[in-house]
Structure 1
């Protein structure tokens, strides 16, 4: 009897079934399990639940009679219903918890991970060769570029520089409400989406599952065909304008020139290599400038790969990192995505984007949502869970390093060299979000003090001893001694408490 192959809901592309080294045969039977316990354990964003279930059911429809699609309470029960006591294969799941589960079943053979550029053993060898030096993203990114010959001219980086970040940090065009980029690809819902929405409505009525956020029309691809169309739309019409303003924010234009491909990559509908190679072809054909293409390649071949590898390299205990000893609970207004309760225009805008779509680009995530949590001293484990649940592209492997290491600096610098937080002046420089706000980005104290400006200095004061010894934050810490209104500032910060700013 042919051994069946189990596909998880983030392993939906053809590369999880293609033949090759350590892979399943092309025509093996396939098992897909829709386990409701996943949605009982966490209060996911409604749009995320819709996207994942729609993608799983679309994949099952593509596979036809080859697939056994089981709806069950748990994965364990579903696998028993699908194959009984027979053995199955599965490519390495993307979380520590699910890997432990499949290894405990006794009937599952775990194959190497797919959907990434760098095999885990290759990363381990690279890390060992560092000889104890920090595992910095820039070094890793250059190694990946060399290994995969991405944006290379012989042994040198294309254009003579590895890093074009300097060209990609422009503020948004002043006086413009939008960037004016061509519209992104938008899928059309079908009968599968209608049935998914019906099931989610029923689960909520029964009280068995609760969601957060709104479920509007599906915005992200749920099939390989849709994902390829989205990739083609981006590379042909939007990639050229991506780079310069990739760190900028506009209230009326949350998407700007971003690719919106992260959910497709993380569902396994796209392979990272096809994304970066298509972008490089656009540059070599003169269809997109190098700084835009390098910025896109860096996000996928650099950052995404780096986060995946660190998730496994640091181990499951990494989620308990809390070097700053932050333990404040997340307030209800944040948990409920209650953007209407928030006065600060930048935070209200970002929270509303999450509420309505389950997505924002990386700067609102890091410098608005994550920065506010860091300044307020919220529990990093709870912050990680919030990002995991509320973003359509959020998975354990994605959010654990991004939030614990990058956003909350809870690992004390294992992943990044400094905490990523700022006062309102940064937000004002990189967005139009301070315009019309009740607060003033330059004011630290008083009724019009910007919560981010107050929070920034209060954060530096609270962690003065640690941050004074960091060469990237020492100068800012010294600035505390020049603040004549420090006591008033700290009092204003305390007044804010857990109330929406």
Structure 2
């Protein structure tokens, strides 16, 4: 039976059996479907990375794999195997799962590339009540079950969560963190071939991309991904924790691992990532707060997001309890960062335009925060994050945007909306000093769009948020603002243009 590999199932753990090696002769299939890129206006760097990774994997597998370039998956499958039986591991999107299950010749196996089986999560979540789940409870359960950073039945160091130690503001006298840079791959002939194809598709009108492409910044092979993991653990992990939530305008990567795209392409397995980090701590090569922060990202948050994508069901996609329906403006969709005057937003939007990546705090507190305050449609925003980030997939962005960033689910995933004024950005970055706006100003020529937007958002949803124990105090603060009417009038006239 032929085994079909999707483009995000590229590591050895996605082969037909766990012990499949050079002697395994199971024929393999991979389909490069142009229709994927026609359906959405992807970031060009993302399209380049995905196609480069697929073609590199096909080159590694040699004669064992049939690599088909087709207009659609269905067409490629018919051309490669006809009506013959095919196996495939559980795809990572609901649309792909529906498609493979609709094909009578295809047998769908369990998902791989995650620590927790979906059935185990379902049992855990049902036991929690199933409606308002919390990542911290899940994270502790995973740590126990997989013996991660444990000392017997106790968490290493006596605390489960060292997040309090990982919220330092960035160093004020440094434009960049004094740490070695991340691993960067070298392009080869396959990358050149992909770029020529992308150029040709754009020229003939087959597809349209957004953003800039090249040189490739993220791993496209398992060898490159393992080198990236090694460099992070050995040279960057020790400084990851303290500045995990900080931002520097000239240093978009800080001490972050940049491993998310490799994990989501299937080039790395999460177990090897967290085990390497834990070993570094146990051998005294990295502090516990940095290691715990990284483990929480991979074994906690990433796993949690994957599981909620399936557990909450398809209707979760349409969650919009705040009633936000404003469309994304053209300057945002086209990544026109040079038109933005607000320095934090211009900086982060330029990072996305130029690389297809920025770390989790700019995503949440600059991009997501701005969209939330303006009442943009969460479904449109989810699609934008999916298209514009090299690590973006439906399962990644749906819970992260609908639940975490936009609070469109009303608190099923998080306890409060993640909205803040300019004071937070000023505290956690170096971006406010040279900005034309002032983080303390709510009205007037220099009014920070985040500060004004925060109070307008709180006022708009006063009835819902005044009963939330994490936002009630802020809502009560609305009545102490003597310029609230001016703030609201200003926000009503702001328009859809860039701030």
TM-score by length of 2: 0.99
Asked if structure 1 preserves the Cα contact closer than 8 Å seen for 2:131 and 2:412, the reply is no
What is the aligned partner in structure 2 of residue 305 from structure 1? Answer: 303
- Give the one of 337, 344, 361 matched to 2:359: 361
What is the aligned partner in structure 2 of residue 166 from structure 1? Answer: 164
- Give the one of 488, 496, 500 matched to 2:494: 496
Asked if structure 2 preserves the Cα contact closer than 8 Å seen for 1:186 and 1:219, the reply is yes
What is the aligned partner in structure 2 of residue 422 from structure 1? Answer: 420
**1:376: how far off?**
0.2
**1:22: how far off?**
12
**1:228: how far off?**
0.3
CA distance in 2 between counterparts of 1:404 and 1:37 reads: 26
CA distance in 2 between counterparts of 1:98 and 1:473 reads: 39
For residues 362-400 of structure 1, the C-alpha deviation after alignment (integer angstroms, 9 at most, x for no partner) is: 000000000000000000000000000000000000000
- Give the one of 454, 457, 468 matched to 1:456: 454
For residues 170-199 of structure 1, the C-alpha deviation after alignment (integer angstroms, 9 at most, x for no partner) is: 000112101111110000000000000000
1:136-147 pair list within 5 angstroms: 136-147=134-145
> Residue 348 of structure 1 aligns to a residue in which SS?
helix
CA distance in 2 between counterparts of 1:259 and 1:132 reads: 32
CA distance in 1 between counterparts of 2:173 and 2:62 reads: 52
Asked if structure 2 preserves the Cα contact closer than 8 Å seen for 1:442 and 1:453, the reply is yes
> Residue 105 of structure 1 aligns to a residue in which SS?
coil
TM-score by length of 1: 0.98
1:23-38 pair list within 5 angstroms: 26-38=24-36
1:239 maps onto 2:226 in alignment: no
For residues 138-157 of structure 1, the C-alpha deviation after alignment (integer angstroms, 9 at most, x for no partner) is: 00000000000000001100
Alpha-carbon distance change, 330 to 133 in structure 1, aligned in 2, over 3 angstroms: closer
1:147-158 pair list within 5 angstroms: 147-158=145-156
Alpha-carbon distance change, 384 to 131 in structure 1, aligned in 2, over 3 angstroms: closer
**1:128: how far off?**
1.8
1:272 maps onto 2:265 in alignment: no
**1:135: how far off?**
1.5
What is the aligned partner in structure 2 of residue 223 from structure 1? Answer: 221
> Residue 458 of structure 2 aligns to a residue in which SS?
helix
Asked if structure 1 preserves the Cα contact closer than 8 Å seen for 2:90 and 2:111, the reply is yes
Asked if structure 2 preserves the Cα contact closer than 8 Å seen for 1:47 and 1:215, the reply is yes
CA distance in 2 between counterparts of 1:477 and 1:22 reads: 58
CA distance in 1 between counterparts of 2:31 and 2:17 reads: 22
Any stretches of 5+ residues in structure 1 without a counterpart? none
**1:131: how far off?**
3.6
Asked if structure 1 preserves the Cα contact closer than 8 Å seen for 2:16 and 2:26, the reply is no
CA distance in 2 between counterparts of 1:415 and 1:22 reads: 38
CA distance in 2 between counterparts of 1:368 and 1:304 reads: 21
1:46-85 pair list within 5 angstroms: 46-85=44-83
For residues 8-44 of structure 1, the C-alpha deviation after alignment (integer angstroms, 9 at most, x for no partner) is: 0000000001624999x94310000000000000000
> Residue 291 of structure 2 aligns to a residue in which SS?
helix
> Residue 493 of structure 2 aligns to a residue in which SS?
helix
Alpha-carbon distance change, 21 to 417 in structure 1, aligned in 2, over 3 angstroms: farther
Q: CA RMSD in A?
A: 1.4
CA distance in 2 between counterparts of 1:490 and 1:216 reads: 43
Q: How many residues align?
A: 499
> Residue 470 of structure 2 aligns to a residue in which SS?
coil
Asked if structure 2 preserves the Cα contact closer than 8 Å seen for 1:168 and 1:245, the reply is yes
Bigger shift: 126-135 or 472-481? 126-135
CA distance in 2 between counterparts of 1:99 and 1:131 reads: 27
Asked if structure 2 preserves the Cα contact closer than 8 Å seen for 1:6 and 1:30, the reply is yes
What is the aligned partner in structure 1 of residue 444 from structure 2? Answer: 446
CA distance in 1 between counterparts of 2:94 and 2:203 reads: 32
> Residue 67 of structure 2 aligns to a residue in which SS?
strand
Asked if structure 2 preserves the Cα contact closer than 8 Å seen for 1:19 and 1:26, the reply is no
What is the aligned partner in structure 2 of residue 468 from structure 1? Answer: 466
For residues 466-494 of structure 1, the C-alpha deviation after alignment (integer angstroms, 9 at most, x for no partner) is: 00011100000000000000011111112
Asked if structure 2 preserves the Cα contact closer than 8 Å seen for 1:95 and 1:396, the reply is yes
CA distance in 2 between counterparts of 1:336 and 1:409 reads: 25
- Give the one of 148, 173, 192 matched to 2:190: 192
- Give the one of 372, 377, 380 matched to 1:379: 377
> Residue 102 of structure 2 aligns to a residue in which SS?
helix
